[in-house]
Each structure stands twice: as C-alpha cells, then as structure tokens.
Structure 1
Amino acid sequence: MPAVENIVGRIGLLQGQGSSAEPKFRVAPHNIEAEQALLGAILVNNDAFDRVSDFLLPEHFSEELHRRVYDVASQLIRAGKIATPITLKTFLGEHDLGGITIPQYLARLAAEATTVINAEDYGRTVYDLALRRHLILIGEDIVNAAYDAPVGATPRGQIEDAERKLYQVAESGRYDGGFQRFSDALTTAVDMAAKAWERDGRLSGIASGLTDLDRMMGGLQASDLVIIAGRPGMGKTALATNIAFNIAKAYEFEVRADGSHATVNGGVVGFFSLEMSAEQLATRIISEQSGVASYKIRRGDISENDFGHISAAAQDMQSIPFYIDQTGGLSIAQLTARARRLKRQRGLDVLVVDYLQLLSGSRNRGGDNRVQEMTEITTGLKALAKEMNVPVVALSQLSRQVESRDDKRPQLSDLRESGSIEQDADVVMFVFREEYYLKNKQPREGTEEFLTWQADMERVHGRAEVIIGKQRHGPTGTVELAFEAEMTRFSNLAREDNLPVRL
C-alpha cells in the first residue's frame, strides 16, 4: 500500500523510522495498519461499524485524519445513510496529503480492506492502544502535579485524583458489556435462590440482624442503593450503625483456591461517618453491645461492673471487619475512590454513608445548583453499588414540612431534593418514633388529657417504626422494632405470638 505509506509518512514520525541516532524520544503506542484495516472494513461494509460502535470512539484513533473519517462515517451510518469513500469525501475536503488526495486515500483504504469478520479484533486493538496512550498522559500529569503542587494540595488528594482518572479510563467505552443470553441470567437467578436457601435466615441478601425487617426486604441486596431517612432524633444513624455492626459481627468466610476470602455469612462493612467521629461511633456501638448507657460512657459515670461489661464488649469487637472513614466534607469522587481502595485491600460487602447531605459533588457548584449536585451524588452512589456489587446504605435528612402535619409519619415527598433520591434508590425506608413527639406534648398532671397522654406514652414507649416507602423488588409497609434510647439500640420487637406459652 505505497500511497497509504506515503500518507503515514506525511503525518510525521508515526512509523518511528530513522537512524538510531536521530530521535531521542519514544513514540506513543499506536498501530496505523490496524486503524486503516478497520476503517477500510467499515467503508466496504457498514455492518462492521456495528461491531465496534459501542466501545470505539473517534478519539481512540491515533491519527487525526482517521479520527475524522471514523467520526463522519459514524454520523452517516447512525443517520441511516451509507458511508463509502464517495459519500465521505464531501465532508473531508480535497486536501493534499503529500502526493495523494483524501478521496484517493479513502479509495485505497476500501480497496485493500480486510473482511468484516476481523473488524471487532482491529477495533479492540485500536481501543487498547488508546488506553495505553491515555495512561501515559495520566502518568505525566501525576509527575508534573507532584513536582509543581500548589500550596494547598495534599499527596492524598493527588492520589485520589489519580485513582479517579484511572477509573474513568477503565470504564469509558468498555467492550466487555452488551447483551447476554437470557439463559445465563436464569442460571444466575437460580444460583442466588440456592445460596439463599443455604444461608442463615433463608435470605437472598445480607441479613441485617433485624428479623422482621429482613423478612420484608429479603436482606440487603447486592447492587441496591438503600436510603434510610428520618428527622433529627428519630435514630436513623443508630439504625444504620446497628445494621452495619450486626453484619460485621456475623462475618464468616471460606478460603478460595487462590488464597482469597469468599464471604459465607455477614460481611465486611465500610462506614463513611461524615457527621460523627470514629470515637463517637465506637462509643455508640460499645453502649449497644455492653448495655451501658452512652451518656454514662461519655461522662465517665460508670461503675466497676459497667467497666467490666465495656471491656468485655470491646474485646469481643476487636476482630470484626468494620472499617470507619471519619473524613468530613468528602466529594462523591473521593468517596468512590476510597470505597474502591477498601474493596481492593480489605474486601467489602456493605457500604454505609452517613449522610447524603454532607457529601458534595465532584465539581464546585453554587447554592442554586444543589438539586443537580444531589442528582450527581445519588447517581454516583447507585453506580458504585452496581460496580462493586454490594448494597450501599445511605442516610438522608427529611425536610421540615413533616413537623407541620398532625401525622408526622414521613412520606417520599418529604425527602430533601427528593427527585433524584427517590428515583435512584432501590429501597427507601423512614425511621419514625411517635414517642419522640408525644414526649414533648406532656399536658398538666391531674387533667384528663394527662391520663390520655400517659396511656399513649405507654403504648409507644420503646417502639419504633421503619416505614418502607419504596422497594423495587418487594412490598412496602411498616416494620415495628424495639428501641432503647439510652443505648441507641434497635432490636427485634418481642411479640405475643413469639413469647413462650404461659401456663
């Protein structure tokens, strides 16, 4: 293909030819012949485009002319027209490429094209080489940023930025997706049912440790975004903490042939505590497990017996796979990078984020764009859940309009920036404690209203409702739980039908 070789030479040093003493630099990886073979196949048979169009983009070509040819051809084909050397030349001009015109070059590509059968292989070659060139650019950016870092930049921030760029390269235009046979999906579904039958509690997902909640949800499902929402004081952080700890405490694994660990029961938990410090979170869990009120632990108002319970509980919790990140002001990009790192280094089965409104988008936005920023956050969390194939439990605040109603049970419309949260979430559940509101309405003692209030307080004391307002793969409804405020502990509610028979 002498004319083609001519155009390659015209483009300049793409073939890396010359004496050993001439260039002192390395040429970025490329394969002009693969690009030419692919473009020729497309020009001869436009069906070749369908084999590469879902992962190959114009910028993946190393040569500018090839980018233009592929871009114009793709636009014509997607518009239902035919892409041939004749139809393309109108959009590419009549430039001289060193003794050969563009129409002549296109004709030569088509004349010496390979068959459409090899188009996908050539497309993958072009794509893989583009990734390598992109990696080189990222490496250069990392080196330059390390040499010329601004005063306010931190090495950790640079690492997270590099991880984000690398992940973007890995995910853009992946060619390992696409359609799969329904029989393969059936096999996966049957395997999931079999594992659920073998697992404790007969659950398809990860058991939360709260029986009635698990019965309603089937456990926490892989790749689900689960939202736990509530007004301040309802105990949403306590519920998330209880569930996370129950999962970590139940962790069991088996060793695979390659030495890695496969989770059998429970799971490895990552907890992003954007509001509370790790010590505050640990104090809550110690209180829950030891039975000593958390305010007593904070004040040091404990007896020798209490200290023994605390020490024993702390000893039992030493080895559980529960990892806390207490960094405040994280962006969704930083959170995603840290979650991937935990998955890679320690494993990850459940991720908890406390709470949504304390996250920021990857780009600085004005206050007027908070809704768009929240959309980016919820979409990012859902994508992270699917990518890592783990449930992501994210806490969310509710708007103040709940307080203006007589019935203060929350609804989906009470979610802040509810459009994106409600849309992206697979499960939305609200934490509601009627006792919290009744306690603040105590009438004067001795009145008839006081007796009614006292009866209502006895009815709701130590009870909480988890209202499942949305669930993609299950029913909605209300689950009642027991709540011990001093220990910030949710547990299964003792019911008459579960109690031993009284003689």
Structure 2
Amino acid sequence: MIIDRDSVAVAMEDLDESAFYREGNRRVFRAMRRIFERGGVVEAVAVADELQSSGDLEAVGGSAYLARLVGAVPHTASFSQHCSIIREKATLRRLIESATDIIDDAYTSPAGEVSEALDRAEQRIFEIAGMERRGGFVRVKELVAESLTGIDRRMKTPGMVTGTPTGIDSLDNLTAGFQKSDLIVLAGRPSMGKTALALNMALHVAISRRMPVAIFSLEMSREALVQRMLCSESKVDHSHVRIGRLNDEEYDRLARGAGHLHTAPIWIDDTPVLAPIELRAKLRRLIADSEAGDVGLVIIDYLQLMTGSRRTENRQQEISDISRALKAISRETSVPVMALSQLSRAPERRDDSRPRLSDLRESGAIEQDADVVLFIYREEMHSKPEEIQEKNLQGKAELIIGKQRNGPTGRVDLFFHKEFTTFREIDRRREEAGAAL
C-alpha cells in the first residue's frame, strides 16, 4: 500500500485492522486508514507522521520498521492475492479462538444445558462464516443475459407466479408471489388474524406446493400452532377441539387433515426469546438439511418479540437493528422472510381505522427495510354490533398492500372463518352477480 497508491483502495475494501496478527501492523493499518479517509496520499513519510502524531510510532518499531515493511515487498502485482492470504489467516485465527471458547464452554456448561451450549457453538461458527461472505462490483454485462432470460420466461407465461405462491390468487397476481430475498411484513392490530393468515399461507406453500416452510413462533407454543393448522386444514371448529367435543364427522375430517399435515414439509421453532443471529444460525442449519431442501418461506411471529443482538436502551433502535438483520438474512439465504408485526394504537384514534405505513409500531425502519408491507384489517373489530349487522361486516377482511418495492399497491377482499381460523378470498364478481338476481 505504501509503494502503490492503487492498492490502498483495494486494501480498505478487503481488509480491516482485525485481519492483522501483530498489534504493530494493526496500528500501521489504522494510520493508513485515517490518511485515506482524509483524502491524503498513503506513503511512507505520511504514515510515519501519522503514527508520530498518534503516539504509535515507537510502539510499532519506529521509522526503521516502516522501511523494512516497504523493502519486504518486491512488487505489487500480486497484491490482491496477498490480501486474500491475510483474510484467510485472520479467519483461521478467529476459528482457533472460537474453538477455544467452545471447549471452555463445554467444560463449564451446567448439566441440562447441552442444547444451549450447542447453539452458542453454532452461533460462533456462523458468525465467522458470515464475515467471510463479501460482496463487490459485478459488471452489468454479466447480469444482462440473466435478466433477459427471466423476462423471456415471463413473456411466454404472462401472469406467472415467479415467487412463492400464497394461495390468495389476487395477492399473487399483484406480487407474482413472495420473491426470493424479499422481506415481507404482515402487520395488524391484535386479534385481526395475523397468525391465522400466516398459517394459511404456510399450509398452502407446504401442502399444495410441497415447498418447505420454517416457522419461528415466539408467541405461541408449537402444540398450539399445530392445533390451529390442524383445525384450519380440516375445517373443524377450533373451540370444539379445545374442549374435546367433536362429533364423528368432525373427528373424521380432523383425521384426514392430520394425514395432510403429517407429510407437510413444515418446521417449527417455538423458542420464546430469539435474536436475529440465532434465527440466522437455525435457518442456515435447516437449509443445510438435505431433507428440508430449498425453503420456500420463513415466517416469524412476531417481530416485536425478538431481541436485539446488541444491548441498547432505545427500543426503537433495537427494532431497527432487528428489521435490518431480517432483511440481511432474507438476502443472504435467498428465501422470502415474512415477519408479523404489531401496529401502534394510532388507527383506533382515527375516523378511518384502516392501517397506514406510519402505524408500524416502534420503528420507521420496518417500512424502509421491507420489500412488501401487508396490512390485515377487519372493520368489524372497530364497529358496534348494530353497525356490523347493518353493514354486513361479519367475517369481512381486507388485505392491504401498503408497500411493494417492485410492484403496485392494492387491496384484496377476504372472508375470515373465525371458527376454523381460516381466510378465503371473496369473489367480488360472483357476489355482485348474486346480488343482481
């Protein structure tokens, strides 16, 4: 870097000070970075002056050490290769450090906490793996052919759902399905049916499309979740199952539904306290599982129950960090991630209680990070009994596309069968034709 200015920018992108083993070399690199950030020329005299100013010159070995560094590099033709070697050695050192920590953890972990120790070990390894994945420029000509292939495919089959289908045709027509690497936020006030709708989508993806689904349930236990899915798939009243009062026909339907669910590629994790880095480790482990194959959808219920990976007194900042991490996970894994989210009380204080993007609770970052924002809204939940009857609101719901980064916004009309915790799409044309008779 000191003898070739062009190498400086490469090093600043490829390396950081932690990549160097010797503390002296770390200090030299820090000095070079400060010069580079000021727009100065990184050469031997400037680096020596910078180290002198920071009081680090003698600590690194003085000007003589800098001279030896310059003399040790005969040419810069293989600079990128040297950077790669430095990164690899740094990764191996991190691996050694983590292995030592894992050994210590294994010796000191109390009885009964083996799974927690395994999670910590896995998390450490995945952190190192994540540091190795680096992005960079790709020339557009290398991407054009791939883009044209996708366009040609869509032209041959107009209206084709290119992503993961949700089972709601009008939503799929507007979004072309949930796309790989997208973060989808499904938001609503309590009791609107967020979990029910998410599980309906999960069942369609897993049973009808045979695509694996991962569900992280921070609110409900896996037993309660499966019971909901079973009632939804079987069209059996959830309250009858809860109190154990089933007639023969309902039990038969439940048995058939259990058969469908038994073979469905759905994985559930009901860890109640979960940080993005732990979710990422669990998801990567699932994706690596040959039985799971390509995961079609990840569901998180719900975002505000997650904990941040770093301590902060500001809950809004913590939610922002979680939202950004979920978007990074969706991109890294090339899987659509749908996070359920609470809304603030603002809709209840307005005449029109339909949710807006500004209602997303605790952070505007959710709106920024999400590729698609869906709101589930049931007017009956904000209406008096006489209004529900007068306006015929019972069961009627709206799925509002409040944001779509690569497509239109819009609305889909749904009907909520509360007893089955199931949503179905309303065919407006059929309803209007029936009303005209």
CA distance in 2, matches of 1:49, 1:290: 64
CA distance in 1, matches of 2:365, 2:82: 40
Q: Mapping of 1:49-60 within 5 angstroms?
A: 49-60=8-19
Change (3 A) 1:198 1:364: farther
CA distance in 2, matches of 1:453, 1:393: 31
Cα RMSD of the aligned pairs, angstroms, is: 2.6
Structure 1 moving runs of 4+ over 6 Å: 197-201, 498-503
CA distance in 2, matches of 1:52, 1:214: 45
Change (3 A) 1:195 1:160: farther
Of residues 200, 212, 225 in structure 2, which corresponds to 1:281? Answer: 225
For residue 225 of structure 1, what is the amino acid of its counterpart? L
Of residues 200, 208, 213 in structure 2, which corresponds to 1:242? Answer: 200
CA distance in 2, matches of 1:403, 1:297: 33
For residue 137 of structure 1, what is the amino acid of its counterpart? E
3-state secondary structure, aligned to 1:461: coil
CA distance in 1, matches of 2:398, 2:58: 73
Change (3 A) 1:75 1:454: closer
Q: Which residue of 1 aligns with 2:187?
A: 229
Q: Mapping of 1:470-481 within 5 angstroms?
A: 470-481=403-414
For residue 247 of structure 2, what is the amino acid of its counterpart? S
Q: Which residue of 1 aligns with 2:122?
A: 163
Question: Does residue 269 in structure 1 map to residue 216 in structure 2?
Answer: no
Change (3 A) 1:283 1:86: same
Q: Which residue of 1 aligns with 2:390?
A: 455
CA distance in 2, matches of 1:112, 1:331: 46
For residue 100 of structure 2, what is the amino acid of its counterpart? E
Percent identity between the aligned chains? Answer: 36
Paired positions, count: 429
Of residues 81, 84, 99 in structure 2, which corresponds to 1:121? Answer: 81
Q: Which shows bigger deviation, 207-216 or 355-364?
A: 355-364
Q: Which residue of 2 aligns with 1:381?
A: 326
Q: Deviations over 1:132-154 (max 9, x none)?
A: 011101100111122123x5993
CA distance in 2, matches of 1:153, 1:127: 38
- TM value normalised by structure 1: 0.79
Q: Which residue of 2 aligns with 1:313?
A: 257
Change (3 A) 1:479 1:53: same
Deviation of 1:393 (Å):
0.4
Question: Does residue 488 in structure 1 map to residue 421 in structure 2?
Answer: yes
Deviation of 1:388 (Å):
0.5
Deviation of 1:251 (Å):
3.3
Q: Which residue of 1 aligns with 2:353?
A: 408
CA distance in 2, matches of 1:195, 1:343: 27
CA distance in 1, matches of 2:261, 2:152: 31
3-state secondary structure, aligned to 1:202: coil
Q: Which residue of 2 aligns with 1:427?
A: 372
For residue 353 of structure 1, what is the amino acid of its counterpart? I
Question: Does residue 341 in structure 1 map to residue 300 in structure 2?
Answer: no
Q: Which residue of 2 aligns with 1:356?
A: 303
Q: Which residue of 1 aligns with 2:41?
A: 82
Q: Which residue of 1 aligns with 2:400?
A: 467
- What 5-or-longer segments of structure 1 have no aligned partner? 1-41, 253-266, 444-451
- What 5-or-longer segments of structure 2 have no aligned partner? none
Deviation of 1:243 (Å):
0.7
Question: Does residue 442 in structure 1 map to residue 376 in structure 2?
Answer: no
Deviation of 1:173 (Å):
6.1
CA distance in 2, matches of 1:115, 1:417: 54
Structure with larger Rg? 1
Deviation of 1:200 (Å):
11
Q: Which residue of 2 aligns with 1:446?
A: none
Change (3 A) 1:405 1:311: same
For residue 141 of structure 2, what is the amino acid of its counterpart? S
Deviation of 1:199 (Å):
8.1
CA distance in 1, matches of 2:241, 2:155: 41
Q: Deviations over 1:400-451 (max 9, x none)?
A: 222222221111122211312112111111101123333xx134xxxxxxxx
Deviation of 1:321 (Å):
0.7
Q: Which shows bigger deviation, 161-170 or 372-381?
A: 161-170
